[in-house]
Structure 1
Amino acid sequence: MNSDKRAVILVSGGLDSTTVLAMARAQGYACYTLSFDYGQRHRAELLAADRVSTALGDVEHKVVNLNLDAIGGSALTDTDIDVPEEETQGIPVTYVPARNTVFMSIALGWAEVLGAQDIFIGVNAVDYSGYPDCRPEYIAAFEAMANLATRAGVEGQKLTIHTPLMELGKGDIIAAGLDLGVDYSLTVSCYQADADGRACGKCDSCRLRRQGFVDAGVADPTRYY
């Protein structure tokens, strides 16, 4: 690992972001992991983010406090909106308004402070549940903005947003992570996980995760309640 080759990795404690962290580390980056306590109902993911960051050898793990629950508008931040347990069409109620834009903006700021020119995020255009801020067009637009809006970009230190999972299905993501030594039992993906990190097995995230292990041909290590 080259300590001069720094990257900020957005880590939620879930399957995708953990795989991205393993990929960045394998590419020789000194990994600075970033998570958000944003008022989410599934707070067990914060403990999982800390676990996977430690297990995969991060340099520093930072948790930034935001209260996106103050504006609500999502089943993940407003307990009055039920998390759907059946497949839905269009953009689901688990979409958190502007979440990735807020998260990546803070990651961008930390990258500037660290002198890092690389940010990794686990967005995916295949199994992305219909979220508009997980599409390649969005990532390209944010990267362009980042290079216009920062001192680093203006001074010629090009910032790059890496999305290594963008075109992969869940089974392929899991297979790639296992090849890199990821222990998926440390991760939490459920939108309504309990305080111990056990999953409901019914929400969209649980369905995608379970099918991913089936497609990868390996046992599902997820703990369900």
Structure 2
Amino acid sequence: MKKAVVLLSGGLDSTTCMAVAKNEGYELYPISFDYNQRHKRELALAKKIADYYGAEGHKIISMENVGGSALTDMSIDVPAYKGDHQIPITYVPARNILFLSYALGYAEVIGAEAIVIGVSAVDYSGYPDCRPEFIEAFQKVVDVGTAAGVEGKSIKIITPLIHLSKAETIELGHQLGAPYHLTTSCYNGEEEACRVCDSCVLRLKGFEEAKLEDPIVYK
């Protein structure tokens, strides 16, 4: 069976990616990251999601906290949603570069054909590492910087949500039976989601536009 490494945060988008990869016949090898994020409860949920799909070899990678973000520095408050596309203080420096690099190494080790990541160029909160330009550039790195790439068996970076709105993502996951009840999105990382951070606002708006009920608990 073909294999895919899925970047699994425990959030809505990455869980949708698990559903998409499963539906496309991949054997799932999720990888999650402990980077001292404020919302660390997502890691426990990522494990539940991996178990839900009977995934193989779920890895949780511990990384040094480099700071510089409201998600990793407890002295910086998580801001309320502003609705613009300025790069927000919740941006974690070079996060997706680091995540994809780890995932790429794992993919080479297990002989995976693909890496699946849930970036979106539509509802992306202004993060530069969620844009098509970044994915295209990283694919070039894969092609020229790995044994698989130079041997003509390059690992494909798959972005099934790249052109979808949050509502379209939710509709897709709902059709595929994604376990959204096991997910979390809130940047504050509490048991009850805050409703006001970027991630909560985009999630709630997405469920409303999709005309579906969000199964998680909010304040």
**Please, what TM-score do these two structures have when normalized by structure 2?**
0.97
Relative to structure 1, the CA distance from residue 26 to residue 154 in structure 2 (aligned partners, 3 Å threshold; closer, same or farther) is same
Distance 2:205 2:81 in 1: 15
- Runs of 5+ consecutive residues of structure 1 not aligned to the other structure: none
1:85 matched to 2:85? The reply is: no
* Alignment counterpart, residue 31 of structure 2, candidates 30, 34, 39: 34
| 3-state SS, counterpart of residue 207 of structure 1 | helix
Instruction: Write out per-residue CA displacement over residues 57-79 of structure 1, whole angstroms, 9 at most, x where no aligned residue.
Output: 212211000022xx210000001
Q: Which of 99, 108, 111 lines up with 1:112 in the alignment?
A: 108
1:51 matched residue in structure 2: 48
Using the alignment, how far apart are the partners of 2:130 and 2:159 within structure 1? 10
**Residue type matched to 2:98 in 1?**
V
User: 154-163 or 80-89, which moves further after superposition?
Assistant: 80-89
Q: Report the counterpart of residue 201 of structure 2 in structure 1.
A: 207
Which sections of structure 2, spanning at least 5 residues, go unmatched?
A: none
> Aligned AA for 1:193?
G
Output the CA distance in 1 between the equivalents of 2:216 and 2:4. 29
Residues paired across the two proteins, number: 218
TM norm structure 1: 0.94
| Distance in 1 of aligned mates of 2:143 and 2:20 | 24
Identity level (%): 53
RMSD of aligned Cα (Å): 1.0
1:62 is aligned to: 59
Q: 1:172 to 1:132 in 2, by over 3 A?
A: same
- For 1:103 and 1:40, locate their aligned partners in 2 and report how far apart those are by CA, in whole Å: 14
- Structure 2 residue aligned with 1:127, among 123, 142, 146? 123
Q: Note the C-alpha offset of 1:151.
A: 1.0
Q: 1:220 aligns with which of 198, 214, 219?
A: 214
The 5 Å alignment of 1:164-203 reads 164-194=160-190, 197-203=191-197
